Amino acid sequence: MNPLEGIRVLLEAATPETTMPAQIVFSNSAVQQISGGQTKSIAWVDISEIHTYRLDAITHEVIYVVLQHVNGHSFELRDDMNGWDELLTALASLVGRPVEDIRSRILSLKADDEPIVLYPGDA
């Protein structure tokens, strides 16, 4: 089989749901991650911790915000997702800090830094 044939098959199989960029959607009660046609949701009241870190992914760096659910599962949101800036505003409100403070703390992270805990406690 021609190697390019496999690429053509993958492109033909792609649907709008699988090619749309991941998205962050939130309300006063919950935050959702929509990616690849799947939706994950977590209620703000079920978040036991929020931390952030920067990962060196070789070709680029990615900033993650991790929402830790009270049951131990985590919910990762990335800075390349649609809705990232709006998420930072919502996080600032949740932790009771100015948006620019949250934004600057997250964006100042280096790839080799320890994760910063934004919630609970002193953000």
CATH number at residue 113: 2.30.29
Q: Is residue 9 part of a domain?
A: no
Count the residues in the chain.
123
Tokens coding 119: 């919630």
Q: Is 6 part of a structural domain of the chain?
A: no
Task: Please give the structure tokens belonging to residue 58.
Answer: 């070789």
* Cβ–Cβ under 8 Å, residues 53 and 62: no
The strands making up 116-119's β-sheet, listed across from edge to edge, are 74-78, 61-69, 47-56, 116-119
Q: Which domain holds residue 33?
A: 20-119
> Is there a domain that residue 81 lies in?
yes
Token couple for 111: 């790839």
Residue 3 lies in a domain: no
Count up the domains in the chain and report the number.
1
How many Cβ atoms sit within 10 Å of the Cβ of residue 85? 11
pLDDT tens-place values along the chain, 123 residues long: 444 343 344 334 444 444 567 899 888 888 889 988 889 999 989 999 999 999 998 888 999 999 999 998 898 999 999 999 888 888 887 777 777 888 888 889 999 899 999 888 554
